[in-house]
Structure 1
Amino acid sequence: MMADDATCGYVTLATRPREGRRRGRLCPMCAAVRRPRSPRRPLPYATGVAAGALALLAAAGGPAAAAEPDAFTLTDPRITESSGLAASRTHPGVYWTHNDSDDGPYVYAVDAATGRTVATVTLRGIGAPRDVEAISVGPDGRIYVGDIGDNLGGSWDHVWIYRFPEPAQLRDTTVTAEQFTVRYADGPRDAEALMVHPKTGRVYLASKKQGGGAALYEGPVRLSAAGSNTFRRVAPIDLWVTDGAFSPDGSRLVLRGYFGAQAYRWRDGRPEALGPVAVPLQRQGESVSFTPDGRTLMYGSEGRNSQVEPVALSGEQLPDAARRDDDAADGGTSGGGTAAGRPGEWSGGASSYGKGALVLAGATALVLAVRSLLRRGRR
């Protein structure tokens, strides 16, 4: 037998008094009892394992797993009938909104982080607004406001669109706005949705469902402040439309109603149906806007202290730019985005297996780290 444990790392039966022995396994080479385990690793080790596991889980998500924006509440007591919503192009995290009728020529900039109004813009140079229903930000850096509602069921022979530059600084201000007269080629319509295409700058309106169904109308290439601007029907819409929005890259159009929404692929100036999109249950669903990255829809409602709520997009509902980013992050394994399938459908593929393995490894490491922390707490 060995005289000490310097050679093989084990302590022999003879070198420790009986009362000092610790239980161990028999060494097959020297009939010794294994040296006790090294002390437990300190708490920072377990914490590091947990952090690593969380990093694995985050990596598995890639760009599509970016944090979804939070819901926020419109806290301004003046905003009681928020009827339109548009993400600012100049001020990140800010959304433009306005009241329905009977409020005056006011547009409000709301900070999504707090729900507070950070600027009120008063429009001058226009007539008295009748039924303001929609708002959109164009590629020219100007805000378009649609005074396009008709609570009398489509009896007004014309409606208006107002336009003004988005302010460079967020503060209460008064601006001179342009006013455009709008008529429909097939007669008066009640409408609540105005969308400006982010690439072409062309303006579109969607009428509400009445007399055979809603429809999408296309304005002239450029709006003119002299005379009327005729909007022509380009596609039927099977929805009671209360608002709509183009994705930031212009490849998707979403139209919402009180209880549902529809997504469309925008191709050659026409919508191609992609199917329904989820809508949160709201008091009176009135507005919708894409987030600046195009991955999430923000839905607004009328009422005092109303909430703006997010719904993440997936599959073919995602704009082309977001899908290309995901494909690049996956190394192109998803085949140019065609493998994503129908909305809400799992896409499979090699990249999905890789992500699944990362998720499993990360979750396992996280569980082991938590168990280690709990054992330390009991000792």
Structure 2
Amino acid sequence: MHSRPGEVLIRVFAAAGVVAAAVFTGPGAQAAGPTEPAGGGEADRVLFRFEDERITESSGLAVSPTHEDVYYTHNDSEAGPVFFAVGGDGKTRAAFTLRGAAARDWEGMAVSRDPKTGRGVLWFADIGDNFDGAWPDVSVYKVAEPASLKDAVLPAVRYRFRYEDGGHNAEGVMVDPRTGRLHIVTKEFAGAIYAAPKRLRTGRVNVLRKVGSAPIMATDAAYAPDGSSFVVRTYISATVYRDFDEQLARVPMPPLEQAESIAYTADGRALLTGSEGEDSPVHRVPLPARVLEAATPTPTPEPSTAPRAGTEAEADGATEAAGADEDGDAGVPLSAVLLWLAVAAGATGVIAFIARRTR
């Protein structure tokens, strides 16, 4: 399969990120901003590897809210509207196809619970846009979590979105379990977090409003099961937040070929992170003690305003959060950014050369 120029450039960025991680966070190097060790003396480990040969570009990752030891994933673009339920041994339990859905550029997924029934809800984000505005709108699909883990075709509800300030490339999607509100995190040098309306409509385009800043080149995001924090992943590290633009800790991530996904474990005490590629691993990374201490000790309250189709007027968006974090960007050192820019310039030249030679 031939890659589009934009996809080639993104993959070059990914390779540069791995190089930057080795150069700037290896022995004797100092990462941008403070990082904290895991709590309880635990070390990160490979939880499992995807054994299914159909899973070659795992881009989204989520823990099932109702099936024990079951994890969901999906491939990147051009793989069709399909997701997989995988056990803790890495073996696929079932593959599901979304009826009435497209897969232009699926980049992430999230989970939540229906506040009325307690049933799991899955969200699949078709939000990739390598040309930052090539698409007039992006889509997120809502699917009721299957009660039975058997291959099936599932109905999906499509919600269309546009950003209040123009098009963006994005790979992170997360749902606040306390409110049921959907958020999208852009993958840019000046990344941002956008909140969806409280009520989602199927008959019109929903407007995403900026509520906070995000690390450089964020590849995924997720809320903790109790809503006490959320995490944003980049190619190099992950940053845990208590609230928009309020950092709790920087968490070092294991070196991966192309770090794409992140999720919390069911108990909220660790992070799961994955990568693209065949037989790709899912790592379990314990959270720092500071994050665990800040976690809400009481049970998660039932969401009162879960996203759903409605006929009432669109709720007012949240106001934009105040300036960026005092420590600078949470995801990538400045020197790594300069490295990325240099690689991007070189990649652009290579793409232009190839284009001229293949006319």
TM interval, shorter chain, is 0.5 to 0.7
Local SS of the residue matching 2:84: strand
Asked if the contact 1:287–1:301 (Cα under 8 Å) also holds between the matched residues in 2, the reply is yes
Of structures 1 and 2, the one scoring higher in RCO (CA 8 A, sep 6+) is 2
2:269 alignment partner in structure 1: 295
1:192 alignment partner in structure 2: 171
Long gaps (5+) in structure 2: 1-38, 115-119, 300-359
2:56 alignment partner in structure 1: 80
Q: Report deviation, 1:314.
A: 2.1
Question: Which one of the candidate residues 238, 249, 260 is aligned to 1:286?
Answer: 260
The percentage of counterpart residues that share the same residue type is 43
Aligned equivalents of 1:218 and 1:322: distance in 2? 22
What are the superposed Cα offsets for residues 338-371 of structure 1, whole Å, 9 maximum, x if unpaired?
Answer: xxxxxxxxxxxxxxxxxxxxxxxxxxxxxxxxxx
Question: Which one of the candidate residues 188, 202, 209 is aligned to 1:225?
Answer: 202
Amino acid at match of 1:179: R
Aligned-residue RMSD, C-alpha: 2.1
Q: Report deviation, 1:245.
A: 0.6
Structure 2 CA distance for partners of 1:319 and 1:232, relative to 1, 3 Å: farther
Asked if the contact 1:139–1:199 (Cα under 8 Å) also holds between the matched residues in 2, the reply is no
Larger Rg: 1
1:273 alignment partner in structure 2: 247
Question: Which one of the candidate residues 236, 240, 244 is aligned to 2:221?
Answer: 244
Local SS of the residue matching 1:288: strand
What are the superposed Cα offsets for residues 134-164 of structure 1, whole Å, 9 maximum, x if unpaired?
Answer: 1111122210000000122332120000011
What are the superposed Cα offsets for residues 224-281 of structure 1, whole Å, 9 maximum, x if unpaired?
Answer: 1110110001111232100011000001110001111111003xxx341123111110
User: TM-score, with normalisation over the residues of structure 2?
Assistant: 0.68
2:141 alignment partner in structure 1: 162
2:311 alignment partner in structure 1: none
Structure 2 CA distance for partners of 1:199 and 1:69, relative to 1, 3 Å: farther
Aligned equivalents of 1:311 and 1:197: distance in 2? 21
1:125 alignment partner in structure 2: 100
1:216 alignment partner in structure 2: 193
The answer as to 2:285 corresponding to 1:311 is: yes
> Which segments of structure 1 move beyond 4 Å, counting only runs of 4 or more?
63-70, 319-325
Long gaps (5+) in structure 1: 1-62, 326-379
Asked if the contact 1:249–1:319 (Cα under 8 Å) also holds between the matched residues in 2, the reply is no
Asked if the contact 1:193–1:205 (Cα under 8 Å) also holds between the matched residues in 2, the reply is yes
1:174 alignment partner in structure 2: 153
Local SS of the residue matching 1:149: coil
1:103 alignment partner in structure 2: 79
Asked if the contact 1:122–1:174 (Cα under 8 Å) also holds between the matched residues in 2, the reply is yes
Structure 2 CA distance for partners of 1:271 and 1:249, relative to 1, 3 Å: farther
2:308 alignment partner in structure 1: none
Aligned equivalents of 1:202 and 1:314: distance in 2? 26
Aligned equivalents of 2:242 and 2:295: distance in 1? 13
Amino acid at match of 2:270: T
Local SS of the residue matching 1:251: coil
Asked if the contact 2:169–2:186 (Cα under 8 Å) also holds between the matched residues in 1, the reply is yes
Q: Report deviation, 1:317.
A: 1.9
Local SS of the residue matching 2:153: strand
Q: Report deviation, 1:70.
A: 5.2
Aligned equivalents of 2:156 and 2:48: distance in 1? 29
The answer as to 2:62 corresponding to 1:94 is: no
Structure 2 CA distance for partners of 1:279 and 1:69, relative to 1, 3 Å: closer
1:352 alignment partner in structure 2: none
Aligned equivalents of 2:139 and 2:293: distance in 1? 30
2:21 alignment partner in structure 1: none
